[in-house]
């Protein structure tokens, strides 16, 4: 995988551990909304300036890899997610909804965030003040062009208020969409072939220097295919700048766990990198 980082000073490319900075790319939207993005990266790198301080540039200048795109999300795509949603909805007799959508032809898809409500790595995410049960949801995130082609992969954190969603499934938008509700980054990883089905997602949560949660899952545990989710998303929606699609979570902290201010959430995905956020 080649990695593309959106920086304050330009676009940084990581190709096999070598870093190249291109300062002439002025329109991020046009650049990434390209069905031939992988080959475009190869061509740009051939004429770009090689830099030795790539890691330092990422640490100091990296931005979330989004501008005019929307972020959408998928729900109940892993068996573990189905069971967790049934648990949180037990008191409202809503658990049957989640069992049905897991087995249905049509997947659960919902709008998650615009760039305004999205943060990048090393930034802060929010938890709702009117929710008593809040969790991060680590998700492989697809970048899809306006022609519905999957050309890149990123890491997403779909922050969720489980107490609100569990009270009533109709409260889903309030549980999912609020300020700093989504984290995305640190890059877009591109390849000339689909991501490996054995790719692992790892999440760690550190509280006051103590590891309080750690779990991993392989994306081959997903019930839905990536292109299947994209096909439903694009049935009646147009995305002139492309879009990001979170593909669902296979990790759910236990019922007694809830995020607290100061918690550090670290999500790593093989071949992509690590997304790190602190809870406000």
The token pair that represents 206 in the structure block? 């550190």
DSSP letters of 84-143?
HHHHHTGGGT-HHHHHHHHHSSSPEEEEEE-GGGEE-TTEEE---TT-S-EE--EEEEEE
Cα→Cα distances 54→43, 63, 207, Å: 19, 14, 30
H/E stretch holding 41 reads helix 37-47
pLDDT in the model for residue 97: 72
H/E stretch holding 47 reads helix 37-47
Q: Collapsing DSSP states into helix, strand and coil, what is residue 74?
A: strand
pLDDT, averaged in runs of 10, over the chain (280 residues): 98 97 96 98 95 98 99 89 58 65 90 99 98 98 99 99 92 98 99 97 98 97 96 98 98 94 99 99
Contact yes or no for 128/178 (Cβ under 8 A): yes
Q: Please choose, from the candidates 161, 66, 163, 202, the residue with its C-alpha nearest in 3D space to the C-alpha of residue 123.
A: 66
| pTM more than 0.85 | yes
Contact yes or no for 140/218 (Cβ under 8 A): no
pLDDT in the model for residue 242: 99
Tell me which CATH code domain 70-279 carries.
3.90.850.10
Contact yes or no for 186/121 (Cβ under 8 A): yes
Q: How far apart are CA 245 and CA 226, in angstroms?
A: 9
CATH 3.90.850.10 intervals, the chain: 70-279
Q: How far apart are CA 69 and CA 86, in angstroms?
A: 32
Q: Are strands 210-218 and 182-190 parallel, antiparallel or unpaired?
A: unpaired
pLDDT in the model for residue 91: 53
Q: Please choose, from the candidates 34, 32, 279, the residue with its C-alpha nearest in 3D space to the C-alpha of residue 154.
A: 32
Phi-psi region of 188 (alpha: psi -120 to 50; beta: other; left: phi over 0): beta
pLDDT in the model for residue 5: 99
Contact yes or no for 243/29 (Cβ under 8 A): no
């Amino acid at each position: 995988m080649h990695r593309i980082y959106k920086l304050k000073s330009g676009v940084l490319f990581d190709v096999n551990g070598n870093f190249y900075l291109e300062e002439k790319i002025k329109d991020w939207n046009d650049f990434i909304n390209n069905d031939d993005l992988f080959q475009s990266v190869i061509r740009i790198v051939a004429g770009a300036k090689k830099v030795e301080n790539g890691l330092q540039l990422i640490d100091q200048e990296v931005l979330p890899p989004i501008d005019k795109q929307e972020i959408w999300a998928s729900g109940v795509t892993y068996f573990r997610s189905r069971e967790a949603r049934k648990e949180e909805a037990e008191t409202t007799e809503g658990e049957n909804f989640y069992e049905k959508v897991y087995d249905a032809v049509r997947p659960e898809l919902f709008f998650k965030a615009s760039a305004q409500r999205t943060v990048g790595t090393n930034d802060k995410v929010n938890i709702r003040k009117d929710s008593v049960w809040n969790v991060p949801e680590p998700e492989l995130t697809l970048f899809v062009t306006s022609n519905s082609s999957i050309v890149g992969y990123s890491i997403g954190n779909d922050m969720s208020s489980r107490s609100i969603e569990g009270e009533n499934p109709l409260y889903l938008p309030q549980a999912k969409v609020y300020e700093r509700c989504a984290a995305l980054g640190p890059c877009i990883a591109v390849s000339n072939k689909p991501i490996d089905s054995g790719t692992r997602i790892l999440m760690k949560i550190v509280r006051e220097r103590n590891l309080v949660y750690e779990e991993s899952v392989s994306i081959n545990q997903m019930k839905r295919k990536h292109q299947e989710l994209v096909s439903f998303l694009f049935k009646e929606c147009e995305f002139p700048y492309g879009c990001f699609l979170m593909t669902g979570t296979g990790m759910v902290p236990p019922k007694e766990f809830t995020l607290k201010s100061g918690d550090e959430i670290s999500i790593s995905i093989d071949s992509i990198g690590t997304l790190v956020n602190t809870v406000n």
